[in-house]
Amino acid sequence: DIQLTQSPSFLSASVGDRVTITCRASQGISSYLAWYQQKPGEVPKLLIYAASTLESGVPSRFSGSGSGTEFTLTVSSLQPEDFATYYCQQVNGFPLTFGGGTKVEVK
Amino acid sequence: DVQLVESGEGLAQPGGSLRLSCAASGFTFSSYAMSWVRQTPGKGLEWVSIIGSDGGGIQYADSVKGRFTISRDNSKNSLYLQLTNLSAEDTALYYCVKGRLPKPPETRHFDYWGQGTPVTVSS
């Protein structure tokens, strides 16, 4: 199985900060990676797929990059509504797997 | 609007069974692969199973293989998950999720999620 390791697990940041989250895969997955955002009490929301393609309706301050085994999700200027938990997911092969999550908290 | 509404929540004893259902609307259900994903506070998100648009292409997570069965009825726009030989580790919120596009790998990106149905396994 492909393991996904996210870092950091917790991140304290302020509104306006540039935030970067890393997801490392235990083996190469090309660009078969997605990112989700989950706010408390809500279901996960697809932000990015194919490592760098923004899902429709997602603000452009979100961006994704990487291929192979290392990927990043960047929020260029953190907004109040961005405080949430973020998960990466690999879709290269079965079983599909998610990272452990990164919780972005108010500093 | 796309809607996914799960049902079948319940409390089961270890070794017991449950059947989860998901009623889909707002899209051409028969054109999309569907999955089940579960979430626990301690383990985060865990993909459980996927089924192709025509009922083929079934895959399971190792943790549920041989115990859970995914199925669908396109005439009823419904997705199902039969859970058997349940253990405490299966306690979670179970989400019905829709694949983003009809063709892989986009079938494995999830663009719509139901609100989830809780499953508790306890004696």
State the pLDDT at residue A71. Answer: 98
Contacts of range A79-86, beta carbons closer than 8 Å, 24 or more positions apart: A79/A15, A80/A15, A81/A39, A82/A19, A82/A37, A83/A39, A84/A37, A84/A38, A84/A39, A84/A40, A85/A37, A85/A38, A85/A39, A86/A6, A86/A21, A86/A35, A86/A36, A86/A37, A86/A38, A86/A47
Q: Which residue of A has its CA nearest to B112?
A: A45
CB contacts of A36 in chain B (<8 Å) are 45, 110
Within a 10 A sphere around the Cβ of B82, how many other Cβ atoms? 14
Q: Between chains, do B44 and A44 touch, taking CB under 8 Å as contact? A: no
Q: How far is CA B77 from CA A9, A57, A78, B17, B21, in A?
A: 38, 26, 39, 23, 10
Q: Which pLDDT score, from 0 to 100, does residue B101 have?
A: 87
Q: Tell me, yes or no, if B115 comes closer than 8 A to chain A by beta carbon.
A: yes
Judged by a CB distance cut-off of 8 A, whether residue A58 touches chain B is no
Interchain contact A57–B (C-beta under 8 A) = no
User: What is the mean pLDDT of the segment spanning B85-96?
Assistant: 96
- Per-residue model confidence (pLDDT) at position B105: 81
Per-residue pLDDT, B50: 97
Q: What is the pLDDT of residue B104?
A: 81
pLDDT in tens, A23-32: 999 999 999 9
Q: Which of B17, B51, B25, B23 is nearest to B36 (CA)?
A: B51
Size of interface A-B (CB pairs under 8 A): 51
Q: How confident is the model at residue B82 (pLDDT cuts 50, 70, 90)?
A: very high
pLDDT tops 90 at residue A98: yes
Using a CB-CB cut-off of 8 Å, the residues of chain A touching B115 are 43
A31-69 pLDDT per residue, tens: 999 999 999 999 999 999 999 999 999 999 999 999 999
Report the residue of A3, A33, A43, A45 to disrupt the B interface, i.e. the one with the largest count of B CBs within 10 Å: A43
- Closest residue, chain A, to B64 (C-alpha): A95
B110, A46: Cβ pair inside 8 Å? yes
CA of A95 vs chain B CAs: smallest distance (Å): 5
pLDDT at B41 over 80: no
Residue B27 contacts A where some CB pair is shorter than 8 Å: no
Q: Nearest C-alpha of chain B: how many angstroms from A2? A: 12
